[in-house]
Amino acid sequence: MSAGVDLDSVSMDFGTFRAVDNVAVNIQPGEFFSFLGPSGCGKTTILRMISGFIDPTKGMVRIGGRDMKGQRPNQRPTALIFQNLALFPLMPVWENIAFGLEVRGVDKIKRRARAEELLRLVDLPDAGDKMVSQLSGGQKQRVAIARALAVEPSVMLLDEPLSALDLKLRQHMRAELRAIQKRTGVTFIYITHDQGEALAMSDRVGVMSQGKLQQVANPRDIYNNPANGFVASFVGENNVFAGEVKGQEGNLARFVTPGGTFTARLGPGVAPGAKARLFLRPEHARLLADPGAANSIPVEVTDVAFEGNFISIHARDAGGQVLVAEARNDGSSSIPQPGERRHFAFDGANAVILTGDTAAKDVDE
């Protein structure tokens, strides 16, 4: 029993600060939807509006087609998993999970049975009588999920629930969350500033910046076809060239920069003649021994970092700009040494010209 969530042009003002600015998105029943953005972009505010802790200043939140205005969190068919989980430390695990049922007047034997059932679902049997403080981080995570599932919500809201876990566990829980979502069919709305999480788990991702929804698309399109400079720079690494669009060349645009002239795809809303930026993913860049036919600039290799599955090569062009190319660690390309002179080249179809602010990367995680 899952429901869709319809954000109908919602805005939220705190005093003079507009935390959420005219966000409109239609989340489908049973969808795994992520709001991705740096801290302070308004994604948590959106979550609090859906769960009912705050009402939007403007616009409407509809869950399952019903207007939620004035409905308190305890009246909405949502369950929120808090960033710090907010488990009740004075109750044993099973009472935590059964709390929502206790509220609904389910008798104790049934509550206990349901709690055990959910504990098995989240792969944590026999933990019912433990206290929360006796559990590990990942186990607490599972209890929080079970507690939220116990009330059979139509929509599950998750506020960066994995951010406190270490990397290994986080990757494991990603898969776990995804599996639980598929098993239960509940709509998941997931808040994160971790692009890897958002891309790996979601059916669709909404990228946010400064209260505005920048792009809503499936993870592949978010990465491959970013709508603007913010999305391109917030999700994944880039080589960025500032310049000007000057004419067509086949189905690509010609882009003039101080360092040279390139061809690239025109991003949405970028007109010929506009000042814009060219974005190129490091994995699409190659370092050739000889100048390429097009899209090629001479560089000097400055640093080679071995990352395991790939090798990251930093190089500097004539203007002093640092460029990054990535090579797969499969022996298919020759890895240059620092100080070597190469040609930084790329295929114009892999580069995209966009306007809009670039994101200052969130460095706290």
The residues of the shown chain that bind other proteins, judged by CB under 8 A, are: 51-53, 72-75, 78-80, 82, 84, 86-88, 90-91, 99-100, 102-104, 147-148, 151
Q: How far is the CB of 12 from other proteins (least distance, A)?
A: 17
Q: Nearest CA to 297 among 351, 325, 261? A: 261
What is the maximum span of the chain, computed from C-alpha positions, in angstroms?
Answer: 77
Q: How far is the CB of 229 from other proteins (least distance, A)?
A: 35
In the complex with other proteins, the residue whose CB is nearer, 155 or 199, is 155
In the complex with other proteins, the residue whose CB is nearer, 55 or 340, is 55
Contacts of 136 (CB under 8 A, 6+ apart): none
Query: What span, in angstroms and rounded, lies between the C-alpha atoms of 257 and 342?
Result: 20
In the complex with other proteins, the residue whose CB is nearer, 54 or 256, is 54
Q: How far is the CB of 147 from other proteins (least distance, A)?
A: 7
Given the structure tokens 């969808």, which residue do they identify?
31
Q: How far is the CB of 97 from other proteins (least distance, A)?
A: 10
Q: How far is the CB of 173 from other proteins (least distance, A)?
A: 19
In the complex with other proteins, the residue whose CB is nearer, 51 or 238, is 51
Q: Phi and psi for 230 in degrees, rounded to 5?
A: -65, -50
Residue 70 CA from chain centroid, whole number: 30
In the complex with other proteins, the residue whose CB is nearer, 79 or 201, is 79
Q: Nearest CA to 310 among 327, 290, 294? A: 327
Residue 289 CA from chain centroid, whole number: 37
The amino acid sitting at 221 is D
Query: What span, in angstroms and rounded, lies between the C-alpha atoms of 287 and 190?
Result: 39
User: What is the phi-psi region of residue 213: left when phi exceeds 0, alpha when psi lies from -120 to 50, beta otherwise?
Assistant: beta
In the complex with other proteins, the residue whose CB is nearer, 74 or 133, is 74
Q: How far is the CB of 151 from other proteins (least distance, A)?
A: 6
